[in-house]
Chains A and B, each alone.
Chain A
Amino acid sequence: MTHDPLTETTFAERAREQLAKPFLRTAVPRATDHAANDLRARFADHDYEGLRARGADIRSATIADLQTHLDRLVAAFAANGVQVHMAADAAQARAHIRRICRDAGARRVVKVKSMATEEIELNPALIADGLTVTETDLGEYVVQLDNDRPSHIIAPIIHKTREEVRQSLSRVAGRELPDDASELTGFARETLRDAFMDADVGISGANFGVAESGTVVLVTNEGNGRMSTSMPRVHISLMGIERVLPRLDDLAVMLPLLTGAGTGQLITTYVTMISGPRGTNEPDGPEQMHVVLLDNGRRALLGTEYQDVLHCIRCGACQNVCPVYRQVGGHAYGWVYGGPIGAVLTPLFRGQQDGGELPQASSLCGACDDICPVKIPLHDLLLRLRRQRVDEGAAPFKERLVASVWAWAWSSAWRYRIVSGVASRLMQIGWVSRVLARRGPLAGWALGRSVPMPARRPFHRRRSDD
């Protein structure tokens, strides 16, 4: 994509733009609380913690021995007649997919929602090759019509109102569609049905790849995942190398964790397990199946203090509970992944220079750690990234100055007393606190809040007086 918000704007600028949209701040919490309630209800009689522990064990054992499992996966795919392609980075992944489309003489492509294809910015490359690309997930379809970006891992148009969706679809229809979610969905169904039937290639991601059986697993609700992998004559699945699971059995643990944490469902409407192209006696299905295994910075995380992030199953739950994400939405993060997982992945995949400020966009409340179905210590990872940024000297000068003065003042009892005593006295003077709130370092923070007054007598003094 030529337009790259991450390098062109700062988090603060993007956040301010998003905060100006009142709908976002009500829509995101409304939708995400719904998922959290459903999750609680579903697991009321069950040991969710026990399931998380199993999920975390499966993921960490798999990632700890990633290469072994990948080798098995590749061998099992090959045995099933799946053509496997290794992509070290986004450019290689795009090149593979473009070549497969070219070799197949493809003209029309249907896509199933996939964060990995967003990550490699696939659509513009295919369109540049003259292909017609249609996103078939309702939300992604609207994102594509509007030339927008998805703002949530599993609910791409959580930031859009029904009216906005109506306007976009009405443009396609060439008439004013009624303001009714059911009618709008019906229109999209009919329009996209032609796309499925006419497509030469279906491109999906992969929620999991099972090494034991050489199976790509897709988890969807609308049925577009099934359509896109059944109708076209070629199926390409782009899979992050970390998505491997050793055994089919593991799905009995990972599926309820993914759907429970993601949408609060017991199971999504469709769970599709694809182990190859159409067999000789099968009535339908693609003649070719390709899997493109995407590294793009993942392998480099193995053996580092960030390895745990590879356990992620992209359920989106950490976004749902993040007090920052709930206010600013996904676009403020500037790249593909938003919320806590985005604040971790973006600096790791895009570098500290571009993504380094994202780990600051967290109150470190730990809500993400508590909800993550595979127990990724997100807030530790955020802290490590913050530290790394300072170590690398990537933090701005002002920030480093404030931090070192702070550290100096608070690291001895007497300096702390003097500094807090002076600060408290000064803040009692009306004009000082007003100026501080308006122009001082607190100005940005004080925009939406009033600056709290320090107590006249600090706590440590009160205790020693008693």
Chain B
Amino acid sequence: MTEPAELWRAAPTELRPDEDPYARFLEEVAKVSGTSARCTSAELVEEILGQISYPPTQQIALTADLGDARPVIGRALIDAGHDVYDYERIADDRETVRHLDVTVTGCLAAVAATGSIVTGGSAGRGGALVAPTHICVVEARRVVAGLADLMRLAPRLGAGSMIALQSGPSRTADIEKTLIIGVHGPKRVHVVLLDGVVTTP
């Protein structure tokens, strides 16, 4: 058996030692049909607003893993004319969940080599899943190199009952192998890579 340190030579799901994790992360997000932006904490609210068109009024849920930034983002979205909910307050209300247009979440980690964002049951299983558009805020410090690092960290992520890796929007190729983006999960996944941590600007 080869030494575990050499896994990157064998698995494309690891980072080469000389690779820039942020550049690779955004590259992989694009490869799995996701979109992305990179910004500072001060630009975060503006970036999210820019991703959600108005009119019409959109139904938007925000998850608790956005931390301190949640009330600020929420206020800005309400001011822009949208209906905004805290995800944990509506999670059991199927009608509201069913009609969500956008969810905005944070994440516990992101995997550079695969372009994956990692959310946890602690902030809700459905938050990143139920709306056609998902916007995910990724603090730079949460980006890990590859799957091996993620698995090492997994028990300490505070993920609760579920660790969910998502790489781009949902897809199927069941009908004559035609690739269709947007099945049961989101049709659009936008990743905001935040230089710095989520703070109140």
Contact = CB atoms under 8 A, between A and B. Distances in A.
Interface of A: 27, 30-31, 34, 42-43, 45-48, 50-51, 53-54, 57, 80, 136-139, 142, 155-158, 160-162, 165, 181-182, 184-186, 188-189, 192-193, 196-198, 213, 215, 221-224, 226-227, 229-231, 248-249, 251-253, 255-256, 260, 263, 266-279, 281-285
Contacts of A45: 12
Given A221-B172, A273-B154, A283 B124 contact: yes
A278 B173 CA distance: 31
A390 to B, nearest CB: 38
Contact of B12 (A230, A266, A279): A266
A45 B129 CA distance: 33
A223 B129 contact: yes
Contacts of A136: 184
Interface in B122-170: 122-127, 129-130, 146-148, 150-152, 154-155, 160-170
Interface stretch (B2-10, B35-43, B52-60, B76-84): B2-10
Q: Specify which of B4, B31, B180 lies most central, judged by the most chain A CB atoms within 10 Å of its CB.
A: B180
Contacts of B180: 181-182, 185
Contacts of B147: 251-252, 255-256, 267
B151 A30 contact: no
Given A46-B9, A266-B114, A222 B148 contact: no
Contacts of A42: 12
Nearest to B13: A256
Contacts of B72: none
Contacts, number: 224
16 contacts: A27-B177, A43-B12, A46-B11, A50-B6, A50-B10, A157-B175, A189-B182, A223-B129, A223-B183, A223-B184, A227-B129, A248-B151, A272-B164, A282-B125, A283-B64, A285-B162
A269 B185 contact: yes
B174 interface: yes
Given A46-B10, A256-B11, A283-B91, A276 B148 contact: no
B10 A197 contact: no
Contacts of A182: 178, 180
B130 to A, nearest CB: 8
B91 A252 contact: no
A256 B88 contact: no
B32 interface: yes
A252 B11 contact: yes
A196 B161 CA distance: 20
Given A268-B167, A272-B165, A184 B175 contact: yes
Contact of B162 (A46, A54, A222, A274): A274
A236 to B, nearest CB: 15
A138 B175 contact: yes
A138 B183 contact: yes
Contacts of A230: 125-126, 129, 162
The 9 closest A-B pairs by CB, nearest first: A223-B185, A283-B88, A230-B125, A223-B184, A139-B174, A223-B170, A50-B10, A51-B10, A222-B183
Contacts of A222: 170-172, 183-185
Q: Specify which of B6, B10, B176, B184 lies most central, judged by the most chain A CB atoms within 10 Å of its CB.
A: B184
A318 B174 CA distance: 19
A263 B71 CA distance: 41
A373 to B, nearest CB: 12
Q: Specify which of A251, A267, A276 lies most central, judged by the most chain B CB atoms within 10 Å of its CB.
A: A267
B112 to A, nearest CB: 12
B61 to A, nearest CB: 10
B110 to A, nearest CB: 13
B183 A252 contact: no
B13 A252 contact: yes
B2 to A, nearest CB: 6
Contacts of A266: 12-13, 28, 31, 113-114, 167
A269 B170 contact: yes
B92 A48 contact: no
B97 interface: yes
Contact of B174 (A156, A276, A279, A281): A156
Given A57-B1, A278-B161, 13 more contacts: A42-B12, A162-B178, A165-B175, A222-B184, A222-B185, A223-B185, A227-B185, A266-B12, A270-B170, A272-B165, A274-B162, A282-B124, A282-B125
B183 A189 contact: yes
Q: Specify which of B126, B127, B161 lies most central, judged by the most chain A CB atoms within 10 Å of its CB.
A: B161
Contacts of A278: 121, 125, 161
A193 B132 CA distance: 12
A392 B166 CA distance: 50
